Structures are given as C-alpha cells and as structure tokens.
C-alpha cells in the first residue's frame, strides 16, 4: 500500500506529508485524512494550481484518505458555471477523481449564517455601519493600534436585528457589514475585527437571488473545512497570516477536535510565465493570445492543446517538491518531463516543415515504392510500423541543404551523399535556381543497392528525413515557443510592464509543410514525434481531414535563447539518485542552520527572542537565524517598520527566493527600503501582488518603494471622483451590455467590474467600484 511505502522511508517525505504521518501516528485526526482543493470558479486552472492539486490529491491517496473538490463560490459577481465546468474538465483530464466528494461553499450559506448569529449572541460579532475607507482608517497601522468603531458596542439584540434585516435585503450594498469582535491592538492586522459579511444585491449562479449577504473568504474557508470534516487544510504561503484567524473562528464556534488545521507551503513560480489571473485576463482581452486555451498560456487548457500530457504535468508538479520558501522553477524542468513522457507515447513520423524539392533522376517516374518504417526507436520497447511511399520526386528540409557548406556539415550539398531515413542513399548532382538566385530544386541520383535493411551497408555520415512530393499531405504547422523573453516577465525596465517582455517570436505559422500520409485518418489531438524536429500534436480545435494543423509541443532538445541564433546549453538534469535525495537535502537545510546557530550565542539569543518576544513561528525564526546576515537584515528592517510578523513573512516568503548567490550584501536596496515596502502593504496603500512586482524591480535595480509607487501610479485608488469618469467611459463603451443589465441580466456587473479594474491596472478599490457601478446602472 502507498501508506506503508511512505512509512518505510520517512526521511524522503516533504514536511506536509511528515505532518500528516505524525498526526496519524498520534491519532490526532481520528485515524482519518481528508484534504481539499478549493478553487474559486472565476477563471481557468493553470500550472500553478497543478502543484496544489497534486499535493492535496496525492496526500489523500498515499494515506488512504479522500480529497474533496470544493468550489469557493462566495463572490456572485465574478463566478460562473462555465468556470465550474472547465475546472472539472481540466481536473479529470489531469487524472484526478474526487468521487462523490464534490462540494460548493454556497451550499453552506445557511449554516454559515446560523454560526454568525451564534457569534453575535456570544458577543463575538457585531454589525458595523462604517464604510470600507473608514474601517481601514479605524484599523490603525502596524505601529499604531486600531480604534473601536462607534458601532462596536451595540447590544446583542440590536446586532441580531440589524443582521436579520441585512439578510432580508432591507439595506443597500455597502450600507453595513458584519465584523468579528477580536483585538484591535493585535500585531496581526488580520485579527483587527475582520469583516465577515458584506451586502451584495447580485445574482448568484447557483443560489439565484436567494441571498444578498455573502461571506468573505476568511469566514467561509475554515468553517467550510469544518463542515466537510477536513483534517489538513493546505494553503499557499500568502495565507500564513490568516492561520491565526482561521483558528480563532473555530475556537469561537467551539468546533471540537479532531478539527481542521491549516498548513502553508510555497507557491509555484515558473520561469517565462505569469500566474496572475489579472495578467492572464489582460493577455486574452488585449489579443496578445488567442484565448485561455492558447498553447502559449500557462493554463491547463493551453498546455493540453499544446500537447502536454497529464502525466508530464503531474510528474512536474510532484518533482518540484514541497518547500516552505517561495522560489522560481526553471521552464526547462517542465519541458524535461514533457519530453520524457512523450518519448514513450508519441509514434515517430516524418514531416518536412520548409520543403525543398528533390528530383531523383535515375528513379522510375511513375513508381510508388512502399517502404516499411517503424514507429518506435530501438530504446522504446514497443512494436509497430507504417508504410511510407517513396517516389521520384520528394521534399527535404530546406535547412538540410547548403550549396557552400562549412566543415562538418554532414547533410546534403553538391557532390555529396546523404541517407534518406528508411530509404536510400542519394547524391546531389545539380542545383536549380530561380531568377533571383534562390535554390528551388535539387537534381539527385540514388543508389538502389543501399535500401535501408538490405545487406549492403555502405555508410555515409548524414541521415535526413523526407516525404514523397506526390503522396504526402499538406499541413499547417504552428511553432510555439515561450510567451516571454525574460524568465521573470515582471523584471522589466522602469516605466515598462510585463507586456514589454512578450516574445515577438512566440508563434511562427508554416502553411506549406508536408507530412507523410500515414496520419491522414488519425483523430485530432493525436501526438507524434516529427523525426529530427520535435514533438507535435494535431490541433484539437482546428485540425481536420483535408486541413491538417499541428502544434509544436516541445523541441527535441532545449536550444532556446531569446534573440540569439546560437543554442543555449542544455540544463544539467539530476540523476535518479540525486532526485530521490532532493527532499532529504531540503530537509537537512534546517539542520545546517541549527548547527550554525549552536556555534554562535548571538544567533541563539536572536532565535529565542524571535520566538518568545515577537511570536514568530519556528520556521520563520529558524530561517532568520541561520546566519548573521539574515538576522542583521531583519533587525535593521524592524528598526524602520516594527512589525516583526509582517517583515518575517515577506522576507522569508518573497525576498529569500529572489536572493542571488551573493546574498544580502549584494542587494541594491537597504533593509529600511524593504521595510518601507512591507509597511505600504500593511497600511493598504498597495496590494500584496503590487508589492511583489515592486520587489522584483527593487531586486533588479534598487529604488525606494514609495517613490516607485508614486512614479508608476500604483497607489490603490480609493477616490470616488477619480473612478467615476473611468466607470462612465466603460459604460459608454458598452451600451448593449448596459441595456442588458438594466433589463435584468445583473450578472453583467462582473463584466463591468473587470473592465474598470483593467482600465485602472488593478489599482481600484473593488468594493468602491462595485458601489459606484450600481449607482450608475440604477
């Protein structure tokens, strides 16, 4: 059994699996394992999701448990059944099965409401009339405690009455919210009376118009886990500060043990891609790609259409491992897994991408000779072959001929010989050119005694592929490459955006290619290796009999380098033994830090102070005291922005993954400037995603974050007067949709919000946008 196999090699486990195994060993979960994958149905799954999918479903399988598929559908304006269907389709294609465990958070609205009423009765929640802007102002900063709302001390009876009237639809959007009553002086800003419910008079794709108050993520998330009896709620690192609130809600509701517990792991950042839903939407809406399933996109749908196999994506997701610190993963590793899988699945055929005509003058004119060509090379333990027609006129690759070849060019040239794959040796006797001097045809002769497989084994140094001119089929071939020219598309010059890193050569369409006729009746989405070219797939959307279209999945070797013709050195792949010990190596990193700490009393003192005085987690304190440089940077940042948890979180989860080999001394910015960036997030001046973009720029070329925010106009827009002209323009540009909305299609509100957020580059306050839109559309 998988569970037993895992237990036999505990040193090879990642830290999440080690936690699960330990919980089972000590009976903390009642002998059960239940995980969940909880996407919000407002977009398409991408390669970043694949890591979480593989982890949650993998743990359930390995430990004999279950993994739930739950749609966190608590935001009516952006969610749609089409995304629910697309995500289920992608998950099934990836090979994952949730069985009977399909759930929707919207099915728990009644239970969540009842629990909220319970918290009100217990004095742990209250209805607040402050606006979003006022709530932020009252919440304080990381250096100053918040102050209580004037409505915080309402009586239980008044709160129950107001909450019931909110539920009944008596109040307008934004008029009131329900907040948890926790601690306005907490160093964790998430604990300063967070909002639990907002009023939204919007049509929900499943619940219709039944509800007009909707739970926020932090309230719905943990309680949904509790309802489903999840044992291990596994999230990415950006939710680390939410864990305290997750536990507080469960405590406040007296949810008994065994109950859910949250654990965080590092997100997947893949070179030459973007994972931001906002940026992917911009790529689609502005026509930089053909759609969400464009083969250059990092969506599962795009990778499927490009020809990636589900097994290769699963192997990649499992191969990158489970870490506690964010880092980037090379795109070459993904391509390695794709090639490794396709090598044993893709039959070999011949396709000439850029044809050059060859006339074999000593071959009979009307003869069609059918040669037997194996589908598989000797190192693939499969059998099978197809007949390939050989005729007097054939096509070869234009690149396989040179009139004046350099030394060690072993393909075709005047007077030289080459072997045709599965066929004969030919010699180039004459070169035919057009009026412009371009080579248009080669006149050759063949040696009939050199047929492949015959007893005559005369050898030549070069072998090339070919197809019959008369019997081959026309085909369109799309040569896809990486969508961006920079590993980190956000690492661009001042004033530029990720769009400036787009690769202008990410797609080349060849309309005159020719392929052997054996593929004529194969269904769409059939995969092949085009010999000497790469792996290809018949496009599932556009390819049809008489109009074949093939997408390049991946080249046979990694030869990609933006803007340069010479090949890039191939990445060194780990041996099987190195791969098997990768997790053990990561596991010993903490041991190495501990040994360094034990040899330095100052590091020991820091570790104890960070744990006891600052309340940092064991991991955060460990990472910050593994050497003096890390602790010195942390201490210096605290002097500017005394918010230890926020500094530690952003430093460990974001900065460490961006450090080069030179470490902290080589950073082009000071600890004070790093602290300034964290403070901008804590004070809601910018979003976390914007902060990550700014950090990328700071790592690349330095700069003060406050100045970057002002120069690039990244400050969050909370000014109604600034937003109204933008909203008016969006509505003026879409009169048909405005009429449809006013005619009852209120689900279009999400479309209008998306257009406004796009126009403001994601900087507008979404709650304020929604409020203003509803005013204008009334």
What are the residue numbers of the active site?
40, 267, 277
Strand pairing of 268-270 and 261-265?
A: unpaired
Specify which residues 117 forms β-bridges with. Answer: none
Question: DSSP assignment of 144-172, as one string?
Answer: S-----TTTT--HHHHHHHHHHHHHT-S-
Report CA dihedral (718, 721, 726, 729) to the nearest 10 degrees: 160
**HEC profile for 347-409?**
CEECEECCEEEEEECCCCCCCCEEEEEECCCCCCCCCCEEEEEECCEEEEEHHHECCCCCCCC
How many angstroms separate the CA atoms of 363 and 711, rounded? 72
Report CA-CA distances (Å) from 524 to 550, 559, 760. Answer: 9, 28, 41
Question: DSSP assignment of 16-31, as one string?
Answer: HHHHHHHHHHTTTTTT
Give the chain's count of helices (H) and strands (E): 26, 27
Going by the DSSP 8-state scheme, the letter that residue 705 receives in this structure is H
How many angstroms separate the CA atoms of 170 and 426, rounded? 86
Q: How many of the other CB atoms lie within 10 Å of CB of 90? A: 23
CA atoms within 13 A on the CB side of 723: 27
Choose among 527, 516, 568: nearest CA to 370: 516
| Six-digit token string for 660 | 């080069």
Specify which residues 236 forms β-bridges with. Answer: 265
How many angstroms separate the CA atoms of 340 and 352, rounded? 24
| Six-digit token string for 526 | 């059939």
Choose among 50, 53, 80: nearest CA to 69: 53
Residues 6+ apart with CB under 8 A from 273: 47, 298, 331, 483, 484, 489
Confirm if 240 and 189 have CB atoms less than 8 A apart: no
Confirm if 109 and 215 have CB atoms less than 8 A apart: yes
Q: Can you give the length of the chain in residues?
A: 778
How many angstroms separate the CA atoms of 588 and 571, rounded? 25
How many angstroms separate the CA atoms of 306 and 285, rounded? 20
Terminal alpha carbon distance of the chain: 61
How many angstroms separate the CA atoms of 715 and 709, rounded? 6
Question: 357-390 burial, b for 16+ CB within 10 Å, e for fewer?
Answer: ebbbeebeeeeebebebebbeeeeeeeeebebbb
At CB < 8 A and 24+ separation, what contacts does 725-733 make?
Answer: 726/756, 726/759, 726/760, 726/764, 727/752, 727/756, 727/769, 727/772, 727/773, 727/776, 728/776, 729/759, 730/755, 730/756, 730/759, 731/776, 731/777
Residues 6+ apart with CB under 8 A from 585: none
How many angstroms separate the CA atoms of 648 and 474, rounded? 59
Strand pairing of 507-515 and 473-480?
A: antiparallel
Choose among 210, 171, 182, 196: nearest CA to 116: 196
């Amino acid at each position: 059994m998988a569970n037993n196999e895992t237990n036999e090699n505990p040193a090879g486990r990642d830290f999440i699996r080690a936690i699960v195994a330990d919980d089972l060993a000590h009976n903390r979960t009642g002998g059960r394992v239940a995980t969940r994958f909880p996407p919000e149905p407002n977009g398409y799954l991408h390669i970043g999701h694949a890591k979480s999918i593989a982890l949650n479903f993998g743990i359930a399988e390995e430990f004999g448990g279950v993994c739930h598929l739950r749609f966190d559908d608590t935001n009516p304006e952006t969610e749609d059944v089409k995304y629910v269907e697309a995500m289920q389709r992608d998950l099934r294609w990836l090979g994952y099965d949730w069985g009977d465990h399909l759930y929707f958070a919207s099915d728990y609205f009644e239970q969540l409401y009842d629990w909220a009423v319970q918290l009100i009765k217990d004095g742990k929640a209250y209805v607040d009339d402050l606006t979003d802007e006022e709530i932020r102002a009252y919440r304080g900063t990381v250096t100053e405690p918040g102050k209580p709302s004037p409505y915080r001390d309402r009586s239980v009876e008044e709160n129950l009455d107001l909450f019931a009237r909110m539920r009944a639809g008596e109040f307008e959007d934004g008029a009131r919210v329900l907040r948890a009553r926790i601690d306005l002086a907490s160093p964790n800003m998430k604990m300063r009376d967070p909002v639990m419910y907002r009023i939204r008079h919007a049509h929900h794709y499943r619940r219709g118009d039944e509800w007009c108050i909707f739970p926020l993520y932090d309230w719905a998330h943990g309680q949904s886990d509790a309802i489903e009896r999840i044992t291990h709620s596994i999230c990415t690192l950006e939710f680390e500060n939410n864990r305290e609130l997750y536990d507080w809600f469960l405590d406040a509701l007296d949810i008994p043990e065994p109950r859910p517990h949250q654990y965080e792991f590092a997100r997947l950042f893949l070179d030459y891609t973007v994972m931001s839903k906002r940026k992917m939407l911009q790529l689609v809406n502005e026509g930089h790609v053909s759609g969400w399933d464009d083969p250059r996109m990092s969506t599962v749908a795009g990778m499927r259409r490009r020809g990636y196999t589900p097994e290769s994506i699963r192997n990649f997701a499992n191969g990158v491992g489970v870490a506690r610190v964010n880092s980037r993963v090379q795109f070459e590793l993904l391509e390695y897994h794709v090639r490794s899988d396709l090598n044993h699945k893709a039959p070999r055929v011949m396709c000439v991408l850029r044809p050059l005509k060859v006339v074999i003058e000593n071959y009979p004119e009307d003869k069609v000779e059918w040669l037997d060509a194996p589908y598989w090379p000797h190192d693939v333990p499969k059998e099978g072959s197809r007949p390939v027609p050989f005729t007097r006129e054939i096509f070869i690759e234009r690149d396989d001929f040179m009139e004046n070849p350099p030394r060690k060019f072993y393909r075709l040239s005047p007077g030289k010989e080459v072997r045709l794959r599965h066929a004969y040796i030919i010699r180039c006797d004459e070169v035919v050119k057009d009026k412009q001097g371009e080579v248009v045809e080669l006149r050759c002769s063949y040696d009939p005694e050199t047929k492949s497989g015959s007893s005559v084994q005369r050898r030549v140094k070069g072998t090339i592929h070919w197809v019959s001119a008369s019997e081959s089929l026309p085909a369109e071939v799309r040569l896809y490459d990486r969508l961006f020219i920079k590993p980190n598309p956000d690492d661009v010059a001042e004033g530029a955006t990720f769009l400036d890193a787009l690769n202008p050569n990410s797609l080349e369409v060849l309309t005159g290619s020719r392929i052997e006729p054996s593929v004529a009746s194969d269904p769409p989405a059939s995969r092949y290796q085009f010999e000497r070219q790469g792996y290809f797939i018949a496009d599932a959307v556009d390819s049809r009999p008489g109009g074949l279209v093939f997408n390049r999945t991946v080249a046979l070797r990694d030869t990609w380098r933006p803007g340069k013709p010479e090949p890039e050195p191939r990445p060194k792949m780990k041996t099987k033994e190195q791969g098997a010990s990768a997790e053990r190596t990561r596991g010993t990193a903490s041991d190495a830090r501990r040994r360094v700490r034990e040899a330095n009393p100052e590091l020991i003192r820091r570790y104890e102070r960070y744990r006891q005085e600052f309340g940092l987690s064991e991991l955060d304190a460990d990472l910050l005291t593994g050497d003096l440089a890390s602790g010195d940077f942390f201490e210096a940042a605290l002097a500017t922005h005394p918010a230890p948890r926020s500094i530690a979180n952003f430093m460990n989860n974001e900065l460490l993954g961006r450090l080069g080999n030179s470490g902290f001394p080589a950073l082009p910015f000071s600890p004070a400037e790093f602290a300034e960036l964290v403070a901008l997030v804590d004070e809601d001046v910018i979003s976390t995603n914007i902060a990550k973009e700014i950090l990328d720029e700071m790592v690349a070329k330095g700069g003060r974050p406050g100045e970057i925010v002002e120069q690039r106009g990244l400050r969050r827009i909370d000014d109604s007067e600034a937003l109204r002209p933008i909203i008016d323009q969006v509505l003026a540009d879409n009169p048909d949709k405005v009429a449809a909305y006013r005619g009852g299609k209120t689900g279009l509100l999400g479309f209008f919000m998306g257009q406004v957020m796009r126009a403001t580059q994601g900087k507008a306050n979404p709650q304020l946008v929604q409020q203003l839109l509803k005013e204008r559309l009334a």
